[in-house]
Amino acid sequence: MAPSTAPPELDAVLGLAEELLDAAYEPALWPAALARLASDLGCERALLLRAEGVRRVVLATSDLDPGEVRRLAGRRADPEVEQRLVLPPRHREVGLGVDPALRLLLDRAELEPAATERLRRVGPLVAKAWRLTDTLAASRRHQSWNPVVLDRLATGVLVLDAAGRVLQANGAARRQLGTQGELAIERGQLRAAAIGFQRSLAELLARAARFEGRGVATESVLLPREAPWGPLEMLIVASPRFADADPTAVAVALLFDPRREEENPAVVLARRHHLSFEETQVVSLLLRGRDIPEIAAALDVPGEAVAACLRNLYEQVGTTRQVELVKLLLARAAPA
């Protein structure tokens, strides 16, 4: 590549603009982009904030774990993923021009004149890049309920409301329900043949509807089938956090033959994200709502090994939370 002939100031702005464009499409690159901006301004640390009145929420920082940015992008008013901030002393908060809600917090109270001018030029680029990140991330999450996407999955998917009404059912779920007699969709509702099974399903959905943001309920059931088929597994994950894709959704039921890898949700996620065998085992247990001690006991490994595996998963997949794993499964239903 030929050496740049642009003036140093323009070269610096163009270099930062290139990093911001990359970060707009891949949220994990925001810390590197903000670290470069902080260095260009003569600071050690820069934080991107969303300002709502007197409230400040951290969106990305120059030293934040890249996986954290993936969780923050595209979210609204989710206390589990927002970090509220009390502004430290000797820091300076500056606006970014095009969006009054987006601010930068710098660890220097005063900037050199050249740095102030550079910030005036690049501030709007920072705001526009984050808005693009935010929009794309929110769009990806909302794709999870696209029927065309769901129908590409070999895993059966049923999206349920608190009353057990089926909001969506993909073709795989309807085919699998037709091979057994324990569950059926009747007049738009999921019905169990056994009274006890119906009661436990209703209690699970009702509990999910009462959760306040963070709660998750899980149930795994084997549905017997006549020969030559083996039993189906139905994994129900219930949480109000599914409502960010459909306001009335409280649960997703996954139907699959455990012997068929192309239907197994853990295997689908593992292939999509190139996970190891050990990581696939952890994902399988995470989907069933197990925590670190339970996973360690089930796999007969130290808890520290599970924690290390989760950190690696976080880097590769962007989450280690059960609900988010289900959303990832449904959001990009590429062939396994």
Cβ atoms of residues 59 and 72 within 8 Å: yes
pLDDT value of residue 280: 93
Would you state the structure tokens that stand for residue 21, as one six-digit string? 């464009």
- Strands of 156-161's sheet in order across: 166-169, 156-161, 249-256, 232-238, 217-223
| Inside any domain, residue 320 | yes
pLDDT value of residue 221: 92
* CATH number of residue 305's parent domain: 1.10.10.10
User: Which residues, at least 6 apart from 70, have a Cβ–Cβ distance to it below 8 Å?
Assistant: 27, 28, 137, 318, 319
Same domain membership, residue 44 and residue 29: yes
pLDDT in tens, the chain (336 residues): 444 454 566 666 777 888 888 787 777 788 888 998 888 888 888 888 888 777 777 888 887 665 555 555 544 444 444 445 555 667 788 888 778 889 888 888 788 888 888 888 888 888 888 888 877 666 555 444 677 778 889 999 999 999 999 999 999 999 999 999 999 999 999 999 999 999 999 999 988 877 765 678 899 999 999 888 889 999 999 988 887 777 788 999 999 999 999 999 999 999 988 899 999 999 999 999 898 999 999 999 998 999 889 888 877 787 788 888 888 888 754 443
Of 90, 123, 143, the last residue of a domain is 143
For residue 32, give Cα distances in angstroms to 50, 102, 103, 121, 130: 19, 18, 18, 19, 14
Same domain membership, residue 65 and residue 138: yes
* CATH number of residue 135's parent domain: 3.30.450.40
Same domain membership, residue 158 and residue 137: no
pLDDT value of residue 78: 44
Same domain membership, residue 275 and residue 229: no
Of 258, 273, 302, the last residue of a domain is 258
Same domain membership, residue 166 and residue 39: no
pLDDT tens digits, one per residue of 155-212 = 999 999 999 999 999 999 999 999 999 999 999 999 999 999 999 999 999 888 777 6
Same domain membership, residue 295 and residue 234: no
* CATH number of residue 184's parent domain: 3.30.450.20
Q: What is the DSSP letter of 332?
A: -
30-40 and 8-25 helices cross at what angle (nearest 10)? 160
| Inside any domain, residue 2 | no
Q: Which domain holds residue 124?
A: 8-143
Of 210, 240, 258, the last residue of a domain is 258
Same domain membership, residue 160 and residue 222: yes
pLDDT value of residue 4: 46
pLDDT value of residue 262: 93
Domain count, the chain: 3
pLDDT value of residue 77: 41
User: Which residues, at least 6 apart from 68, have a Cβ–Cβ distance to it below 8 Å?
Assistant: none
| Inside any domain, residue 1 | no
C-alpha to C-alpha distance for 295 and 121, rounded to whole angstroms: 50
**Residues pairing with 94 in the sheet:** 104
pLDDT value of residue 317: 80
pLDDT tens digits, one per residue of 96-133 = 877 888 988 888 878 888 888 888 888 888 888 888 88
Q: What is the DSSP letter of 165?
A: B
Would you state the structure tokens that stand for residue 20, as one six-digit string? 């911001």
